[in-house]
């Protein structure tokens, strides 16, 4: 089984990496084999720029996507608000039927500074998931690696075992994508 994916945020770092590279990218990708429910899946991860300078290029990478991982920072109210203001209009314009996994990043910062008024609570993240119709909501930390694998396992499961009402749309997308089961596009960490 082969999966093609695209991340925008620093939470998409291989578990074997000892360095956190915190610089913006335009487009980048890598591939890894991952085990999900006893099956080995080749997951190709793509990175797209979240900056406004690349707003015309970014949608070109959405073609053929089977799922989006839409990320926001748990310690940035502006990042959270951009999910509705910036990212959802863009994703729905260019890929209206593609499911979404919503991800709250920088969980380690939330745990340290949970009393700050800019911090997003789990309940607020879950409410946003409902507002945008995302298939799942997960919080993670690339710094500690907490739940990073769960983000991708969840995204893969949404593609492999979609809700029944989305099954026909998924079949149409997977036929047109050849051997690619899923493309994952992350966005939202950059204001």
Q: How many helices (H) and strands (E) does the chain have?
A: 6, 7
Q: Return the bridge partners of 180, or none.
A: 2
9-to-18, 131, 132, 142 alpha-carbon distances in Å: 17, 22, 20, 9
Q: What is the pLDDT of residues 85-125, one digit of tens each?
A: 998 998 999 989 989 999 999 988 766 666 666 789 999 99
- Structure confidence at residue 39 (pLDDT): 78
Domains and CATH numbers, the chain: 2-187 (3.40.50.300)
- Structure confidence at residue 12 (pLDDT): 40
Q: Which of 69-78, 158-167, 175-184 shows the highest mean pLDDT?
A: 69-78
Q: What is the pLDDT of residues 175-186, one digit of tens each?
A: 444 333 344 455
107-to-103, 144, 146, 182 alpha-carbon distances in Å: 10, 9, 8, 26
The answer to whether 148 and 141 are in contact (CB under 8 A) is yes
- Structure confidence at residue 52 (pLDDT): 60
Locate 52 and state its tokens: 């406004």
The answer to whether 154 and 136 are in contact (CB under 8 A) is yes
Average pLDDT (4-12) is 39
Sign of CA dihedral 86, 142, 102, 34: positive
- Structure confidence at residue 6 (pLDDT): 37
Sign of CA dihedral 79, 6, 1, 16: negative
Locate 8 and state its tokens: 């925008």
């Amino acid at each position: 089984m082969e999966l093609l994916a695209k991340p925008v945020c620093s939470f998409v770092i291989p578990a074997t990496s000892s360095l956190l590279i915190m610089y913006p990218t335009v487009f980048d990708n890598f591939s890894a084999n991952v085990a999900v429910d006893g099956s080995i899946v080749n997951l190709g991860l793509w990175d797209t720029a979240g900056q406004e300078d690349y707003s015309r290029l970014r949608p070109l990478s959405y073609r053929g996507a089977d799922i989006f991982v839409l990320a926001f920072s748990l310690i940035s109210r502006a990042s959270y608000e951009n999910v509705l203001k910036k990212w959802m209009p863009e994703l729905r314009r260019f890929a209206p039927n593609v499911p979404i996994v919503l991800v709250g990043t920088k969980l380690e910062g939330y745990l340290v500074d949970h009393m700050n008024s800019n911090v997003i609570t789990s309940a607020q993240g879950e409410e946003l998931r409902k507002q945008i119709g995302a298939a799942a909501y997960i919080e993670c930390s690339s710094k500690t690696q907490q739940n990073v694998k769960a983000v991708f396992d969840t995204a893969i499961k949404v593609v492999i075992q979609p809700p029944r009402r989305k099954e026909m749309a998924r079949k149409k997308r997977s036929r047109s994508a050849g051997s690619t089961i899923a493309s994952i596009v992350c966005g939202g960490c950059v204001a």
